[in-house]
Amino acid sequence: MTNDGRTRILKAAKALAESHDSVQGVTISLGSVAQQAGLTKPGLMYHFPSKEALMLGLVGHAAEDWAQRLRAHTGRASEDLTSFERYRAYVTVATTAEVSRADYWIFSDALYHPKLSRAWSEHLGPWFDTAGLDPRAVSLLTAARFCADGAWMSEATGVFPSDDLAAVCRHALALIDAAEATSDAAEVAGAPAETTSDAAEGTSNVTETEVSE
């Protein structure tokens, strides 16, 4: 019941943000969210004792929702995928998901409140991990992610949205293909150097043995 109550409140907060049309931006209060959720203010404060707690809960809920979309798309957890598979999932989901201006508000509010960015890092950070990859591959993956970021943000805000999101998705996926090819080439290029080094070390050991004998 407690989780149901929290979810009800968070959905109400998002709905309130979605319906807000003030030129001064989105502003919500504990009282307005409680009314939207059909609760008393004390009833809401049982779950979220302050506005900061409510915002942290809202951002955490949104970040987890994005992570869940990615898991649903791939059918696997982030740690069971390669970096390239994770980025392909994000590009595909970000260019096809239904998003709203409330999604953008929740995401962008972290810019002004650093505490709110932690939830995004916690839930989505593993999906964007590029540890151990060639820097050139990382740059291409980052470019692909920026394409996807811009696509869903434009759709959410209605500001300069794409006329062909499918084409944006294809171009971003092509960047990921290029990143994977770059990574593979870097690994192949590195292998002979290691082999040569090992061979040289082996030759040195043989020579030392012969001299010793």
DSSP at 111? G
pLDDT tens-digit series, residues 53-69: 999 999 999 999 999 99
149 belongs to a structural domain: yes
Its domain, for residue 142, covers 75-212
| pLDDT at 209 > cutoff 50 | no
162 belongs to a structural domain: yes
* Mean pLDDT (the chain, rounded): 86
38 belongs to a structural domain: no
Spatial CA neighbour of 59 closest among 126, 101, 109: 109
C-alpha triplet 210, 212, 213: angle, nearest 5°: 65
Number of domains in the chain: 1
| pLDDT at 207 > cutoff 80 | no
Distance from C-alpha of 51 to C-alpha of 31, rounded to nearest angstrom: 10
pLDDT tens-digit series, residues 155-186: 998 999 999 999 999 999 999 999 999 999 99
Distance from C-alpha of 172 to C-alpha of 147, rounded to nearest angstrom: 6
Residues contacting residue 122 through CB under 8 Å, at least 6 positions apart: 63
pLDDT tens-digit series, residues 85-111: 999 999 999 999 999 888 898 888 877
28 belongs to a structural domain: no
53 belongs to a structural domain: no
59 belongs to a structural domain: no
Spatial CA neighbour of 15 closest among 81, 61, 74: 61
CATH number at residue 153: 1.10.357
How far does the chain reach from its first CA to its final CA, in angstroms?
A: 81
